[in-house]
Amino acid sequence: MQKIMETLFDAAYLVTVTILGITMVRQSLGRQQMKWFGTMAMILGFGDAFHLVPRVYALWTTGMEENAAALGAGKLITSITMTVFYVILYHIFRNRYHITGKLMLSVIVYGLSIVRIILCLLPQNQWLQYDAPYSWGIYRNIPFALLGLIIIYLFYTEAKKKKDRAFRFMWLAVTLSFAFYAPVVLFSDTIPVIGMLMIPKTLAYVWIVWMGYRELKESSVK
């Protein structure tokens, strides 16, 4: 039952975010914000596919341990593309709220992203091993969590200040994605059922993409 439900969920997720992303890029009509949103959605789907497709394959064949190398490589790619996802979301924030200057803020965002990617690429992660070091799962997610906190704060303050109804819950969607992801990083090795939190975490990302798509449609009819 798990492999059927997980396969259907993963397929629906990947198809949904990819189609929404392609649609936003094609219908952006020169609107930079929508083009970025579409690109962000496609990167999300592309990156997650490298993890989810091997996972589905493992469920239907010889299991997770036998496919550890493919799963680990997929997790590495997903970790990098998720970092890029938030960098693009930061630029959407700047574009939407007409933020200029604030060089130090951009330095911090890019700095945390680069540190996160470097940490992910270090051989100590042992991505291709089934029992990869737990500690490195923590280390590489520290700059990622800090990046998320910055994005949450920026969208919360600006959406509230500008009374932005379309993105008024963007901060909440990002918060939920990290709130569901953190226990998985911290406890999934000892409490495997915690891994189920990846489902609501994934739905939070779909919500982020959907907010961009809905804004595209509503702005197109104004």
pLDDT tens for each residue of 9-22: 999 999 999 999 99
Please provide the DSSP assignment of 29-63 as one string: TT-HHHHHHHHHHHHHHHHHHHHHHHHHHHHHTT-
Which residue range is the domain that position 14 belongs to?
2-220
CATH assignment at residue 10: 1.20.1070.10
**pLDDT tens by residue, 48-79:** 999 999 999 998 988 888 899 999 999 999 99
Q: Which residues contact residue 219 at a Cβ distance below 8 angstroms, ignoring those fewer than 6 apart?
A: 31, 34
**Which residues lie below 8 Å from residue 65, measured CB to CB, with a gap of 6+?**
130
Residue 125 has pLDDT above 60, yes or no: yes
The span from the CA of 191 to the CA of 119, in Å, is 25
pLDDT tens for each residue of 152-200: 999 999 999 999 999 999 999 999 999 999 999 888 878 888 988 999 9
Please tell me the total count of domains within the chain.
1
- pTM for the structure as a whole: 0.93
